[in-house]
Chains A and B, each alone.
Chain A
Amino acid sequence: MSVDGPTRTFRRQGRVVVVGASLAGLRAAETLREEGFTGALTMIGDEPHGPYDRPPLSKQVLLGKTPADGTALPRRRAIDAEWRLGVAATGLDLTEKRVRLADGQEVGFDRLLIATGTRARPWPRDAEADLDGVFVLRTSDDAARLDQRLAARPRRVLVIGAGFTGSEVASACRERGLEVTVAERGPAPLVGALGGVIGAIAAELQREHGVDLRCCITVTALEGDPAGRLRRAHLSDGTALDVDVAVIALGAMRNTEWLAGSGLGAGPRGVACDAGCRAFDVHGIVTDDIFVAGDVARSPHPLFGYQFLSLEHWGNAVAQAETAAHNMISAGPDRRPHLWVPAFWSAQFGVNIKSVGVPPMGEEIAVTQGSLAEHRFAAAYGFQGRVIAAVSFDHARWIDFYRERIESAAPFPPDFTGVDRPPGGVRPVPADFPDPALPTHGPTVTLSGYSPSDRRVTFTPARA
């Protein structure tokens, strides 16, 4: 690998600041050291905890099997960093190359990685959100509070929003033997992420496990008693529910406010960056020394028409962090693009749900293996005659096969003949995603930006 003079000097004695001390930030820091960066490394995180894993919070932790403070991430290697935990970044000065902190201090950098992720979208009315018994679930502190409350056996839990987090919370409540109502604005759970055909199956799963699932409904007010404890929720159909606990699961908001006025192209949709994870400024000009990774990033993906993808996916945080870190300490020709194929999982009601690709781009869906009725199947999503995504319920071993179909732009309806074909053959039907203009819980993928729809590319994974 050719390393030019300035790059060599930077690797030896440069200053890297990573804002965001969670999964993406940690994996980036490890990759920097792995690839030979020996300069100064500062990790800034607004939470008082070191990097920890979030997926277990809505599963093992809410089931009471793992303490909320027991999900610290394993380290791949020592990173020899200066940690600034419990202090948020509040501003960025691109000219002076300094990050401002909430405690008034500033940290200078030569190169910066922005990995500030997302936070839970709060209940919109503060007075109601402040009621004792109203929770969100994003951080380990959130999980600790909610687990403690569930252990006290509330009469009924109300989950507002049936995306993945809300559905997993409902699943954990049922497993603990608690009464739970799920209120979903859309026509079915998971409909924003997986469409109406799969949403109907998710609804069956919930009801079979005793969830009081109410769709096409919103919560209009949360009511407290004189002591400020939640006691009732009012619904848009005019009914009311007596509840002790409400979990707000209305999706996530990207932590970009601290970048306001910095000159970076940052906003509610995230921080826009190029395929090499370099941030764009407000003029659409790529910066040289500011990199982005994880949930807060929006980057163009050649497999999906070069649209900018914002992915709230564990695997994306890891892969993008590794690419960003590599590019931070590499000269131009050695840099590589972030070409990870979106993928995620969820475990709820005893079923292992996995997805690959971008389901919300799907126009049609075809069950290719197993059967919907048995809640054991794999299904492919089609977009303009090609396979664009797939989802599996308890069929995880097939997900890699579908990823290869997506990477090679295989035709849709699928022409492969596999084992375990559904009786009656493969029949594509509309995937039935809600109109994106209608409010529902946020999908885990949002698409926006320029779309040269008929351009074709040959996709090669970044690494085998």
Chain B
Amino acid sequence: MRLVVDLNRCQGYAQCAFLAPDVFVMHGEEALMYDPGADETQREQIMRASAACPVQAILVDQVDLAEGALAHVG
């Protein structure tokens, strides 16, 4: 699944790193590193992390990946 964190908004509360530790990791004291193409098996944890983010900085795909398949080259 695809996700992106608005790191202008992120204030390093680290709720996501507790709720989905395989996807979100604190790097140093407050910088966040995350997997933007996390495995589908992580969906439940990611949705929980997204809901719990105090500044609502986590955007998760709202569209089935199949729509992406409409993108064609040329």
By a beta-carbon cutoff of 8 Å, the part of chain A in contact with chain B is 48, 50, 53, 55-56, 59-60, 63, 65-67, 70-78, 83-87, 103, 314-315, 318, 343-345, 347, 349-352, 354, 376, 394, 396-397, 399
Contact code string B1-22 (vs A, CB < 8 Å = 1, else 0): 1111011101110000000000
> Chain A contacts of B6 at CB under 8 A?
315, 318
> Chain A contacts of B35 at CB under 8 A?
60, 65-66, 70
> Chain A contacts of B28 at CB under 8 A?
347, 349-352, 394
Tell whether A396 pairs with B10 under 8 Å between CB atoms, given A347-B28, A350-B28, A352-B29. yes
Please provide the chain B residues from 1 to 55 with a CB less than 8 Å away from any CB of chain A in the complex: 1-4, 6-8, 10-12, 27-37
CB-based contact A60/B36 at 8 Å: yes
17 A-B pairs within 8 Å (CB atoms) are namely: A53-B4, A53-B36, A63-B33, A66-B36, A67-B37, A70-B37, A71-B36, A83-B72, A103-B74, A315-B6, A318-B6, A345-B7, A347-B28, A351-B28, A394-B28, A394-B30, A396-B30
Q: How far is the CA of A98 from the CA of B3 in the complex (A)?
A: 34
> Chain B contacts of A343 at CB under 8 A?
8
Tell whether A85 pairs with B74 under 8 Å between CB atoms, given A66-B36, A343-B8. yes
Specify the chain A residue showing the minimal Cβ separation from B28: A350
> Chain A contacts of B72 at CB under 8 A?
83, 85
CB-based contact A66/B37 at 8 Å: yes
CB-based contact B37/A75 at 8 Å: no
CB-based contact A74/B2 at 8 Å: yes
CB-based contact B73/A86 at 8 Å: yes
CB-based contact A75/B10 at 8 Å: no
Query: From DSSP, what is the main secondary structure of chain B's interface residues?
Result: loop
By a beta-carbon cutoff of 8 Å, the part of chain B in contact with chain A is 1-4, 6-8, 10-12, 27-37, 59-63, 67-68, 70-74
Q: Which 6 A-B pairs have the closest CB atoms?
A: A350-B28, A70-B37, A352-B31, A347-B31, A75-B63, A74-B61
Q: How far is the CA of A79 from the CA of B5 in the complex (A)?
A: 21
CB-based contact B70/A74 at 8 Å: no
Tell whether A345 pairs with B8 under 8 Å between CB atoms, given A72-B36, A85-B73. yes
Specify the chain B residue showing the minimal Cβ separation from A63: B33
Determine how close the nearest CB of chain B comes to the CB of A308; give it in whole angstroms.
22
CB-based contact A351/B31 at 8 Å: yes
Specify the chain B residue showing the minimal Cβ separation from A76: B62
Specify the chain A residue showing the minimal Cβ separation from B69: A50
> Chain A contacts of B34 at CB under 8 A?
60
Q: How far is the CA of A246 from the CA of B71 in the complex (A)?
A: 34
> Chain B contacts of A56 at CB under 8 A?
36
> Chain A contacts of B30 at CB under 8 A?
352, 394, 396
> Chain B contacts of A347 at CB under 8 A?
27-28, 31-33
Q: How far is the CA of A396 from the CA of B14 in the complex (A)?
A: 13
Q: How far is the CA of A65 from the CA of B35 in the complex (A)?
A: 8
Q: How far is the CA of A63 from the CA of B7 in the complex (A)?
A: 18
> Chain B contacts of A76 at CB under 8 A?
59, 62-63
Q: How far is the CA of A73 from the CA of B27 in the complex (A)?
A: 22
- Pick from A66, A343, A347, A396 the residue with the most CB of B within 10 Å: A396
> Chain A contacts of B31 at CB under 8 A?
347, 350-352
Q: How far is the CA of A376 from the CA of B31 in the complex (A)?
A: 13
> Chain B contacts of A63 at CB under 8 A?
33
CB-based contact B67/A75 at 8 Å: yes
Determine how close the nearest CB of chain B comes to the CB of A89; give it in whole angstroms.
14
Q: How far is the CA of A349 from the CA of B2 in the complex (A)?
A: 26
Determine how close the nearest CB of chain A comes to the CB of B58; give it in whole angstroms.
9
